[in-house]
Every structure is written in structure tokens, then in C-alpha cells.
Amino acid sequence: MTQQQQQQPRDIVYTPPEVSTLVVSAIDERRKNPGAGVRFGLPQVDTQMLPLRPGELVTVLGRPSNYKSGLMQFWSRKIARDILNDGTEKEMVVYATWEMAIEELGLYDLAAATSLSASDISQGRVDEAAWEALLAAAMKRAGLPIWIIGHSIERRKKRPRLTLSNIGQALMWVEREMGFHPRAVFLDYLQQMEPEERPNTRNRDGSRRMDIFENVYRCKDMALALGCPVILGVQARREVDDRDWKLPQLGDGMESSNIEHTSDKMLSVWMPKTSETTGEPLRGARELIVNDNLLLLRICKQKMGPAGQWMALRVEPGRNEIESFERTEDYSAPPVRTWMGDDDE
């Protein structure tokens, strides 16, 4: 399809009667299904964040090793289980990765299903009982509707060049030929994405920044074209590391302000163990003790909903599991807090 075919003038012009009809239809659908949409799956988060709607771009912002990919993997499994529980046929979750191999992602799925340590599994520390549990979990994983787009270690010589256009075309093909429609698409992550049309200009001044700027728009276009939410992992800039309070803010997306402008919702994550002293009270929230399981999640932006609040969650990285604050006994602080000021100190 040519660019001219994609951008017919009539496709972007809406008359006043059409606007009224579309708005009433949207309100009626929400009136008949209040609270419908894609949820995170933990009460503590869902009471603060509006459900994700078709066409929304949601970004998950964090510094390296602060669990943004882990949060996205956990969330994708939650949505896939919702599909199974709903008994919905021909729906799926799509997880596209530029960083991890298919085998690595699947390993976390089996670790979560068996409560075994992903680290132990990856190093082959698996006795016969664990092996039997993993085989049983693999059978169940075969029925979990998470489709992965990326590269395989086994098929490493056939690794394709993964652009957003390639992913969009593949998903359109899956829907057209196989009848499966995505309930949500996860893209992990923005700064690792291949440029679309300028593979030889990455090192020119400003070209990489423009690649990211354009890819943010393409992620939003994908959400609209597929009619489902797109959840996009985003690297936070290094300046975050220099603050006392290191939970990224609205403008902290690396290399492009288009991230905050185009996103319908923005979340940020921080695992204090990566930067603070384990066992010590957390500066700025001294009722929280820094440990391997503390994860802070902030709602930086959401259209038509409150933003700025953050919450403490408990995470088990080895099993890729996240629990709500109120389900743990680690902390005595209120489950949700809002900080005032630029650095939330």
C-alpha cells in the first residue's frame, strides 16, 4: 500500500454529524460496559489507573535493570490469563522483543508457573522433580495466548531485521489469515528498535534522535490501526541517577520529548536496590526499607485521569511475579502516595 493510498483526504475529515455519531457510540459502549478495557491486574494499581482502551499508547519508563521489562512480561501474562478466563476465542497478547531471545522470555513464563528460580533454571540447576514440573508448565504455556515476535537462539542465523513496519504487517497478516486479534501489544523496547528507512545514517548528527521520534509516532499508529493498546518500554535518561529520588518523571524519556507528548498513559519504575543501600530506609519514604523485592511504580500521565501518584509493590524477580502492597507484610506505609515538587523529595 502506497503512502498516498494510506492518506486519502476523506479518511481524516469528519463532519459535525459524524463527530456526534462517533462520540455517542463511544459513550454508549462505555456506558454498557463500565470499567471495560485492559487492566493491570493488581487492585492497588487498578484503583489508580484507568483501564487501557483500544488505540492507546502506554509507555513504561525506567533506567536499566529497574524491572521495566519484567513488569511488561508480568502484565502480558495477566492479560493472557484474562483472555483464558473470559473464554474469548481468537484473541491474543503479542510481545515483541528486540533484546531477549524467545527462549529467555519463555523461561520466565515457566519459572512463574512453577515458582522455580529463573536463575537456577537458566544455569541448569534442575532436579528430576523440577524437570517434571517444567514439562507440565510447558504444556500449559502452549495454551497461553501470548505470541512472541523476535529472535530465537536456535534460529539465530535466520534472525530478521525487526522494524515496527514489519511487526505491523505481520500482525495484520495474522488477523487476516488466521483470525487472531491482539488484545494488547507489548514492544520491548523503544531505544533498541531498528530504524525504518535509514539504516546507514544512524551515526549522523541527530539521525538516531529522529529515528526514535518517528518510532514513537509509529507505535501510536500501530495502536490505532490494530484497535488495541500498545505498551512500549522506554529507557530513562541518565540524569535520573543523579537525583535522590530516582523514580523517573514525565520528561525523562531518553532522546525524545515525543515520548511524553504522544503517550496516552505513562508509567515509571524504580527498584531502589539498584542505587540505594540494602537494609536502609529509603530516602524520601523512610517507612520503606530497601530490599531485593521493593519496586516503586508511578503513574506519570493518564488522559482523563489523575496522575503523579506512586505506589510500592513487592516483586519476585526470579519468578517474575508482582504483588500488591496490601498483600505483603513488608511495609507499613499507605499503599499510594503523591509527592509534590520537581524531584518528589
Query: What pLDDT digit, counting tens, does each position of 203-246 carry?
Result: 444 577 888 999 999 999 999 999 999 999 999 999 999 999 99
Length of the chain: 345
Q: What is the pLDDT of residue 91?
A: 96
For the chain, what are the domain ranges? 63-235, 265-345
Q: Which of 109-118, 140-149, 282-291, 334-343 has the lowest mean pLDDT?
A: 334-343
Asked whether residue 331 carries a pLDDT value surpassing 60, the answer given is no
For 93-109, how does the pLDDT look when each residue is reduced to its tens digit (9 = 90+)? 999 998 888 898 899 89
End-to-end CA distance of the chain: 51
Q: Regarding the domain with residue range 63-235, which homologous superfamily does it belong to in the CATH classification? A: P-loop containing nucleotide triphosphate hydrolases (3.40.50.300)
In this prediction the pTM is 0.86
- List 299's β-bridge partners, or say none: 267
For 10-69, how does the pLDDT look when each residue is reduced to its tens digit (9 = 90+)? 877 888 888 888 888 877 877 777 667 899 999 999 999 999 999 999 999 999 999 999
Measuring CA to CA, how many Å separate 250 from each of 102, 124, 236, 269? 31, 41, 10, 12
Q: What is the pLDDT of residue 189?
A: 84
